Amino acid sequence: MWKIGTVPVENRIIAAPLAGISNPVYRLENRRAGAGLTVSEMISDKALHYRNQRTFDMCAVLEEEHPVSLQLFGGDPETMAEAAEYLSEHTACDVIDINMGCPVPKVLKAHAGCYLLAHPELAVSIARAVVNHTDRPVTVKMRAGWDQSSINAPELARALEDAGISAIAVHGRTRSMLYQGKCNHEWIRMVKEAVRIPVIGNGDLKSPEDVDRMYEDTGCDAVMIGRGLMGRPYLIQELTAHEKGEPYALPSYEERIELCRGFGDRLCAYEGEHTGISMLRGQACAYFEGMPYAAVLRGKLSMMNTRDEFHELLDEYRDTIGK
């Protein structure tokens, strides 16, 4: 057990925010699998300011998923403070996270995400504004710097700690690297050595061995796993067993099919069939990585249109690999 501010977190595994994916249904899958904390996809401060209903819906928190963090992005201290007040007054979130790590152009144009790494004074002003307008612990998810010639994460982390930030997650890449190359553990270690608050290591974590190396190389307090959990919420259970030195049997092919079926049904129930199936076209494929004839199934899943068709494809696939 450890804490982010005053919020107890039962273990050191955090489900990272994934844009367009980390809705309450996805988060709850990971929470039920044992994640100590889950984080929402990015929520725009400006969209909350202009009272966008879809963005209000993104702030929903299910009763069973606590503790949960809602992640904000924006480049204006005033509207970020307003957004923090909204989340504090109108949602049941336990933590508020500030995105300083998204590298995509749309977010950079909003002076948010990685833009703030190149403008540390603005980053600290935003952090201080959010901290001062909420009673929830505030965290930051960031990258190591804008590029390899400007690794400023340790200095920025110290300033964010002074501004009242309760924990920092560091992705061991720069903005210029996007998602290419390898996660640099040394950059995360530098942040860990620079601050007293918890530091969370993030990047390229897909196995117990990856997590072991992250802890050994960085000394971080916890890990944050993103795409490594897509279609594999059971990775959390594998990591928990590994840390305890206990054996763990990976789910069978049949069990993986049923995990996907259950997730799809819950997603359609929450989002509505049309939206749920649209989201499933991309997400369902991850459940079958490494399984026989998975490429054929992925092609069919990418074109499905109804929940009944989704079930038919899974039944057909189950029968095929069972032969």
From first to last of its 323 residues, the chain has per-residue pLDDT tens of 899 999 999 999 999 999 999 999 999 999 999 999 999 999 999 999 999 999 999 999 999 999 999 999 999 999 999 999 999 999 999 999 999 999 999 999 999 999 999 999 999 999 999 999 999 999 999 999 999 999 999 999 999 999 999 999 999 999 999 999 999 999 999 999 999 999 999 999 999 999 999 999 999 999 999 999 999 999 999 999 999 999 999 999 999 999 999 999 999 999 999 999 999 999 999 999 999 999 999 999 999 999 999 999 999 999 999 75
pLDDT of res. 1: 87
Burial (CB count <10 Å: 0-12, 13-18, 19+), residue 299 = exposed
What is the value of pTM for the model shown? 0.96
Answer yes or no: do 93 and 211 share one domain.
yes
The pLDDT value recorded for residue 323 is 59
pLDDT of residue 175: 97
The pair of three-digit structure tokens given for residue 314, joined into one six-digit string? 């899974």
Which of the listed residues 244, 272, 307 is the one where a domain comes to its end? 244
Residue 238 CA: distances (Å) to CA of 39, 230, 231, 232: 20, 14, 14, 10
Q: In terms of domains, do 129 and 257 share one?
A: no
**Same-domain status, 203 and 299:** no
102 flagged as catalytic: yes
What pLDDT is recorded for position 11?
A: 97
d(C-alpha 179, C-alpha 195), whole Å: 26
Of 184, 219, 244, the position where a domain reaches its end is 244
**Spatial contact of 139 and 175, defined as CB atoms under 8 Å apart:** no
Same domain, 73 and 213: yes
127, 269: one domain: no
Same structural domain, 187 and 268: no
259 in the same domain as 235: no
Q: Are residues 161 and 267 in the same domain?
A: no
Q: Which domain holds residue 291?
A: 253-321
Alpha helices in the chain (DSSP H): 24-32, 45-49, 53-58, 77-90, 105-109, 120-131, 153-162, 185-194, 208-218, 234-244, 253-271, 273-283, 294-301, 307-321
Residues 81, 180 share a domain: yes
Domains in the chain: how many in total? Answer: 2
- Boundary (domain end) residue, out of 223, 244, 265: 244
**Given the residues 59, 102, 183, 268, the one annotated as active site:** 102
In a shared domain, residues 266 and 240:
no
Identify the burial level of 90 via C-beta atoms within 10 angstroms of its C-beta, where 0-12 means exposed, 13-18 middle and 19 or more buried: exposed
Residues 157 and 188 in one domain: yes
Where residue 41 falls (left for φ over 0; alpha for ψ -120 to 50; beta otherwise) is: beta
